[in-house]
Structure 1
Amino acid sequence: MMLVHWHDLGRYLGVYGHTDVSSPRLDRLANEGILFTRAHATAPLCSPSRGSLFTGRYPHSNGLLGLAHHGWEYRSGVRTLPQILSEFGWYSALFGMQHETSYPSRLGFDEFDVSNSYCEYVVEKTQAWLRHYDGNHPFLLTAGFFETHRPYPHDRYQPADATAVRLPDYLPDTPQVRQDLADFYGSIATADAAVGQLLDALADTGLDSNTWVVFFTDHGPAFPRAKSTLYDAGTGIAMIIRPPTRLALPPASTTSCSAASIWCRRSSGCWPRDTTRRRWGIACREPC
């Protein structure tokens, strides 16, 4: 499995109806897999949301109720996705962003490099890992992008046309807001192209034939009435799952869900069958 996650995106992709956003590679990924149209974060804040994504447990259960860089950590005894999969012979690697702990070794990855989370560095490290994968173990390969977190410097991201962006109804239509949204769109375009490089590397190595690809973001964009709020713009997230082959899967899921729940559902098809509901905790609604 290759797991790709971004910061602060919400659902700002073309495939979610934002036709003014340039995201061709993720739009294509959605067309090849399942697009979750009603996925929500368990919290509209980075660390608590990501903690649920990697434990299958809600923040009040896993203990990660605030930001990791403010001292919040998982409760003692809480196990993460890499730790659980290791019991079934999986090898796990993380490159780039993580925001669940100040001590990355606690996350249970067999290998990690969190020294740089800008997308070009993450792509370089992930591509190299895929080229050298020996095939001896199933893998969980996690690529965490800093994008699309603020700031959006113009020397890194080419902004979109500020006159062409479509403003959400919760933001005022001013030149400053338009430029801010255009800068955000530039970050999206850069990160989308980087995802395309990861998908190309997966195809070039032939690993796409038996690798699930999961894409998600942690919560809504960093705008008023979005990130850090409980409005839909704050909790609504992009989530896409592409299977390794063209299985009989629906092109979209309109079921209300959180990304935390997908790890404990056998119906996702990507986990060992003897993982159990007890391993994951209260986010699981059905036995695995």
Structure 2
Amino acid sequence: MQKLNIIYIHSHDTGRYIQPHGYGVSTPNLQQMAEEGLMFRQAFCVSPTCSPSRASLLTGEYPHSNGQFGLVNRGFNLPDTDKHIVAFLKNLGYYTALFGFQHVREEPKTIGYDHVDYLDDKAEALLPSVLGFLDNAPSKPFFMSMGFSETHREFPQLTKEDKPQYCLPPNPLPDTPEVRADMAAYKASLRVLDDGIGQILRKLEAVVASPEDREPHEIWDYTIQKDGFV
């Protein structure tokens, strides 16, 4: 059986306030993934804080089982990295690479990735390395974790494109000028995130097959995988 390449793209503090969930924000690339892929509408978060939630996703265990009880920046680390998906995939012959944010260990190199690039987790600074990796991907199957710090605060400065007066806050947030300005700043960060995801999708479409053997399918036609990528 062919081993599929796995690309794990994750953002920070984004929540459901994106176009695929019906909110009035423009995230065309996330919308493309939703339309061409699979949305898990009954999925839930096992923890209200970042590190335990991420560790549960990456180990398949609840925080009380995997030992990630709190935030990395508060001194809590995943105690047993053998439970991390990277350990399982490496045992199956995968090359593993981390780009950007992870937040389950204070020192990313102790997780066990073959390649770690974490000096910057902002999309603009990180994308050249990610796209370069996809251009020169290893011959063996690979797992790539791409962690954007967007949409975590601090938000980028507003531009003329951002108009707080037209940013209606979602319930149950109060509709005040301050909240509208905050939502406009969130949407500015979300725009950076969505553009970064779009660059990755376009790169995948460019490298997934050469022009002479490309099949007439969308990138996510086979539920959530296309020609060796998940």
Report if TM-score (shorter chain) is over 0.5: yes
Counterpart in 2 of 1:73?
A: 77
Query: How far apart in 2 are the matches of 1:51 and 1:134?
Result: 26
Query: Equivalent residues in 2 for 1:273-284 (5 A)?
Result: none
Are the aligned partners of 1:159 and 1:182 in contact in 2 as well (CA < 8 Å)?
no
TM-superposed deviation, 1:121 = 2.1
Query: Unaligned regions of 5+ residues in structure 1, if any?
Result: 214-240, 246-269, 271-288
Choose which of 146, 151, 154 in structure 1 pairs with 2:154.
151
Counterpart in 2 of 1:187?
A: 189
Query: How far apart in 1 are the matches of 2:191 and 2:78?
Result: 33
1:142 and 2:145 are equivalent in the alignment:
yes
Choose which of 166, 172, 190 in structure 1 pairs with 2:174.
172
1:122 and 2:98 are equivalent in the alignment:
no
TM-superposed deviation, 1:70 = 1.2
TM-superposed deviation, 1:146 = 0.5
Deviations 1:171-209 (A, max 9, x none): 111100000011001111111011000111111112698
1:12 and 2:25 are equivalent in the alignment:
no
Are the aligned partners of 2:95 and 2:138 in contact in 1 as well (CA < 8 Å)?
no
In percent, how many aligned pairs have the same letter? 35
TM-superposed deviation, 1:123 = 1.3
Distance 1:77 1:33, change over 3 A: closer
Counterpart in 1 of 2:3?
A: none
1:201 and 2:183 are equivalent in the alignment:
no
TM-superposed deviation, 1:119 = 0.6
SS at the partner of 1:34? Answer: coil
TM-superposed deviation, 1:5 = 0.2
Query: How far apart in 2 are the matches of 1:74 and 1:22?
Result: 35
Query: Equivalent residues in 2 for 1:1-288 (5 A)?
Result: 1-18=6-23, 20-76=24-80, 78-135=82-139, 137-154=140-157, 160-206=162-208, 242-244=224-226
Q: Which residue identity lines up with residue 141 of structure 1 in the other structure?
A: M
Q: Which residue identity lines up with residue 8 of structure 1 in the other structure?
A: D
Q: Which residue identity lines up with residue 202 of structure 1 in the other structure?
A: L
Query: How far apart in 1 are the matches of 2:62 and 2:95?
Result: 25
Query: How far apart in 1 are the matches of 2:138 and 2:112?
Result: 20
SS at the partner of 1:94? Answer: strand
Q: Which residue identity lines up with residue 2 of structure 1 in the other structure?
A: I
Q: Which moved more, 1:166-175 or 1:72-81?
A: 72-81
Distance 1:50 1:86, change over 3 A: same
Counterpart in 2 of 1:286?
A: none
What is the TM-score when the length of structure 2 is the normalising length?
0.86
Deviations 1:66-104 (A, max 9, x none): 011111112346421111111111111010111111121
TM-superposed deviation, 1:16 = 0.5
What is the TM-score when the length of structure 1 is the normalising length?
0.70
Are the aligned partners of 1:158 and 1:186 in contact in 2 as well (CA < 8 Å)?
no
Query: How far apart in 2 are the matches of 1:88 and 1:134?
Result: 15
TM-superposed deviation, 1:41 = 1.3
Higher strand share: 1
Query: How far apart in 1 are the matches of 2:44 and 2:22?
Result: 17
SS at the partner of 1:21? Answer: coil
Q: Which residue identity lines up with residue 92 of structure 1 in the other structure?
A: T
Give RMSD over aligned pairs. Answer: 2.2
Greater RCO, CA 8 A, separation 6+:
1
